[in-house]
Structures are given as C-alpha cells and as structure tokens.
Amino acid sequence: MDDTHIENASAILNGVRIDYYVGGAGLPPIILVHGLNSHAGSWRKNIPSLERVRQTFAVTMPVKSHPSVKLKAAWEAQLLDGLITHLGVPSATIVGHSLGGWVAMLYAAQHAERVCSLILEDTALLVDNNTREDSVDNISHRGIPVLILWGEKDTLIPLEVGKAVHSRIATSELKIYRNAGHVPHWEIPDEYNAAIIDFIQRKTC
C-alpha cells in the first residue's frame, strides 16, 4: 500500500502482540479480519478506498497453533474484543473473510452492542454446527445488519453456505459475485469496496 494516510501500529494484549494497519477518519470504524494463514496485507486493495469514508483498521492475527479451527476462531474473537477495547471504539463495522468471518460472528454474538454492522465474505462459519446455531440465532435476534458477500466460483466454501446463512438471518442481505471465487476482496476489489461503502452508508448506527 502506498497511501501515506495508512499507518502501521501494534498493541500488546495480555502478552500477545497484534499488528494492524490504520487509516482514515470517521466513526464507526471498519475493522477488517483476514482468513486462515493470511495477514492484514491481504486487504491492501481495499483499505485505500474504505479509509476515504471511515477510519479503517486491518488486523493481523498472531500465529498460534490450536487443536481445532473452532478453538482458533474463539481465541481470535477474544483477541478482537481486546483490540477493540484497547482502541476505545464504542461500536464498529466488522468485516470478516473466511475464518475471519467466523471470528467476526463469534464476536458479534457475544458483543452485539459494539457491532454497528457485520460483513461476511465467503465465511467459514458453518464448519461447526453448534457455533453456527448460537452465533447466527443470536445475531438475527439482536437485529444486527449483515451483508453477506460471496464468490459464486468459490470451491472451498460453496455458495450454498452463504445462502444458508442468509436464510437464517432476517436482517441480512446477500450479494453474489458471478466472476469471483473464494477471495472477492482480492479478485474484484472495486466491486467489493463499492458494496461495502454502499452498505455502511445505508446502515448508519
């Protein structure tokens, strides 16, 4: 990223270092959570556009081995809570890709009062049925606005998963990208960024 408004920062939370990019201004901020084996730099095609309308954070989750993906998602959701508390953010739009979508939903289910809106991109949420039930039902019950973005050509997490999540959350919208696979924010960034900006401007806290 070559935008001079975007800065590198970090925080130490319970002895764990979290690095992140931050740029822009305007509340509520956007917080970007990457997928498995990725990092904040995966959002470099998105941050320059998003930070023009809202303060934007892109988090790099620390590398740590876990016995299961479920436990990893729960651990990252706790880290996300710690970071948001550290930043002093009263509420935010949380954007999660793949595993990051699961993390975002776990956080939203536990801290709905701090989530302005939720954006799920090709999320790995349905990997665990019990987590799915608790998170989806809680988010739907609390009325959190949710935008679900999905690449029709995703062979890792098929579109049927996105449709299932959409059917269970009354406050959700589903947007399907015919020309994208598992990572729309990288494959078609202009369309992706426009969808997020439109959504957050319509769903003001």
Per-domain residue ranges of the chain: 7-154+168-202
Sign of torsion, CA 67 148 37 43? negative
Does 133 have pLDDT greater than 80? no
Residue 178 burial class via C-beta count within 10 angstroms: exposed 0-12, middle 13-18, buried 19 and up = exposed
Cα dist. 41→11, 32, 38, 47, 89 in Å? 17, 11, 8, 9, 22
User: In the structure, what pLDDT confidence band is assigned to residue 5 with cuts at 50, 70 and 90?
Assistant: confident
How high is the mean pLDDT of the chain?
Answer: 90
- How far is 134 from 185, CA to CA, in rounded Å? 27
User: In the structure, what pLDDT confidence band is assigned to residue 4 with cuts at 50, 70 and 90?
Assistant: very low
Residue 158, φ and ψ in degrees, nearest 5: -65, 160
Q: For the segment 141-183, what is each residue's pLDDT rounded down to a tens digit?
A: 889 999 999 999 999 999 999 998 999 899 999 999 999 999 9
Q: For the segment 8-22, what is each residue's pLDDT rounded down to a tens digit?
A: 989 998 888 999 999
Q: For the segment 51-108, what is each residue's pLDDT rounded down to a tens digit?
A: 999 999 999 998 777 667 788 889 899 999 999 999 999 999 999 999 999 999 999 9
Residue 71, φ and ψ in degrees, nearest 5: -70, -35
pTM over 0.95: no
- How far is 13 from 180, CA to CA, in rounded Å? 36
Give the distance from CA 71 to its chain's centroid: 18
Yes or no: domain 7-154+168-202 corresponds to CATH 3.40.50.300? no
CA angle 162, 183, 20 (to 5 degrees): 110
